[in-house]
Structure 1
Amino acid sequence: MLEVLRKLWFRDVKEETLFINDVAVRIRAGFLLAIPIFMSFTLYDAIFVSNWVVDGNTAVDSGDIDWDNHIIYHVDATRRVFDYTFQTYVLIYALLEMLSGMFVWSSRLSPIILISSFLARKQKPVWKPLVPKRFAWGLGSSFIIVCLIFFNPEVFAHWVNTVWGSNLLPTTENYMSPYIPLVLVWICLGFMWMETVLGFCVGCKIHSLLVLVGVFKEECEACNNIDWDEIARKNKVRLAEQEAQKKSE
């Protein structure tokens, strides 16, 4: 437990090139998977469910019919008012969680990183470089920021209008299409599912492509991820076999 508290999911916190345990990363992604699932239900309710609440007990036959011979009723209906305070808090936490894993000092502020590192302590670690993960989490952070703007359009509009000194964005209506955060939430859900279940990091693959075209530079992961203990064990076995062969001759 003390080792977990000291290193968390890092191979060595003093390394110049940081490596983290991908087993703990996948466990953490499994915990955080609950957030896009919750947000997908929230956005479905906001976009596809009727904004009107109808009281069926007040329905009164008007005596008229429409063009399709359907009876027209008079009812008492109220328009739903959406309060996204809780969703905002959840997204803020998710944003802080994404950012916290990028550095050693900030990782200690995340309870999920601590729990994930503890759960992965008895499994064989799979060391992966931190830099591609930082890019992936930065991509996820941008998705979260877009969703925060959708849930709080007036706050962002006031901020932008104050900076620009003009009414660039309206403060009485949502200027963002609801399908933008809906698509991003489903993309995020898919990415996190692949990370958790398949161990496939889409953000890391995008980062590797950017390295390939020269946008980023990084060291060779395969060279830095060599299992020297396993190599030493195989060499020891090979030398023992050679020694036994010499004696038999």
Structure 2
Amino acid sequence: MVKNYLHGWLRESGATQPMINDTAVRIRAGFLIAIPLFMAYTLLTAVYGSSWVVTGNAILDTYETDMQGRILYQVEAIRRTFDYSLQSKLLLYALFEMLAGMSERTAIFSPTIWIAHFFSRRHAPVWKPLAPKRFAWAFGATMVTTCLIFFNPDTVAEWINALSRHPLLPTTINYMPRWIPNVLVVLCVGFMWMEAVLGICAGCLLHAGAVRLGWVDEPCEACQQLDFSQANNPVTPSEK
């Protein structure tokens, strides 16, 4: 019953190759874009926000001025600290979502796939090859993993140091440059917006380029102009 219900999301049997409903994929991207948007807000606050917290009750007038005649105040400031537990949980969920849609067996565990299928049920499925989508989601999973490392540098460093038995990474500072997660979040928001609004799969375009260059040995509709009419409408024995 579950497989029949999600048949509008992914079709792995009865076709020449796995196919996926692009309409449902776009709807799902519209929901998942909330996660990178929240991460962008977090990074803006953590990276470009003030490093100190000053309360109004701790500001005292010294009744003195500097050489430019500006009034001097004495303040009690507290160094800001951030708890990224919520962000880490959301990124782990995003990583799960990137991997869940790749097969029929894992798709049934994804809440966003069920929601996307529900909203797309009144529209005719637009079947497209699954291979480029898998490539795109694998690329997305890599970006999510990189952001997880940025938000949990000490935990990752402890794991790597324990496995290597050598202190390869520091555990007291963030060894990942700040520009890396900033760029990845912008790319993620842009790619998901293109998918949801414009129907352009940036990861699929990267897959097409990889196929053209011979880096990936998989069928590619965009770069090989394959005809999937038979996969969309399989011919029954009586119609031959």
Q: Common fold, TM-score beyond 0.5?
A: yes
1:213 correspondence with 2:216: no
Change (3 A) 1:157 1:96: same
The equivalent residue for 1:204 is 204
Q: State the partner residue of 1:100.
A: 100
Contact 1:36 1:189 in 2 (8 A): yes
Residue among 208, 226, 230 paired with 2:229? 226
Q: 5+ residue gaps in structure 1?
A: 233-249
Shift of the 182–66 alpha-carbon distance from structure 1 to 2, 3 Å rule, reads: farther
Deviation above 4 Å: which 4+ runs of structure 1? 1-4, 227-230
For the 8 Å contact 2:211–2:220, the answer to whether it is kept is: no
Structure 1 distance, partners of 2:52, 2:220, is 57
**What is the SS of the residue equivalent to 1:116?**
helix
CA drift of 1:55 comes to 1.3
Q: Is the 8 A contact 2:150 2:174 kept in 1?
A: yes
Q: For structure 2, which runs of at least 5 residues remain unmatched after alignment?
A: 236-240
Q: Which residue number in structure 2 is paired with residue 154 of structure 1? A: 154
Of 177-186 and 30-39, the range deviating more from structure 2: 177-186
8 A Cα contact 1:7 1:13, kept in partner: no
Report the AA paired with residue 216 of structure 1: V
| Residues in 1 aligned to 2:139 and 2:25: alpha-carbon distance in whole angstroms | 16
Counterpart residue identity of residue 33, structure 2: L
CA distance in 2, matches of 1:204, 1:171: 37
Partners of 2:13 and 2:24 in 1: how far apart? Answer: 15
Where does residue 49 of structure 1 map in the other structure?
49
TM-score, normalising length: structure 2: 0.89
CA distance 1:119–1:126, change in 2 (3 Å): same
Deviation at 1:69? Answer: 3.4
| Segment drifting more, 197-206 vs 114-123 | 114-123
Partner residue of 2:85?
85
RMSD after superposition = 2.2
Aligned residues: 231
**3-state DSSP class of the match of 1:57?**
helix
CA 1:89–1:3 in 2, change beyond 3 Å: closer, same or farther?
closer
Structure 2 vs 1, CA of residues 227 and 69 (structure 1 numbering), >3 Å: closer, same or farther?
farther
Give the conservation status (yes or no) of the 8 Å contact 2:6–2:114.
no
Using the TM superposition, give the Cα deviation of residue 66 of structure 1 relative to its aligned residue in structure 2, in angstroms: 3.8
Deviation, 1:111, is: 1.2
Scaled by the length of structure 1, the TM-score of the pair is 0.86
- In 1, distance between residues paired with 2:95 and 2:166? 29
How far did residue 23 of structure 1 move? 0.1
Which residue identity is paired with 1:110? S
Give the fraction of aligned pairs with identical amino acids, expressed as a percent: 48
**In 1, Cα distance between equivalents of 2:78 and 2:159:** 32
Please state how far the C-alpha of 1:21 moved relative to its aligned partner.
Answer: 0.4
Spell out, residue by residue over 1:103-127, the C-alpha distance to the aligned partner (whole angstroms, 9 max, x if none): 1111111011111112111112111
Deviations 1:140-165 (A, max 9, x none): 11110111011111100001111111
Larger-gyration structure (1/2): 1
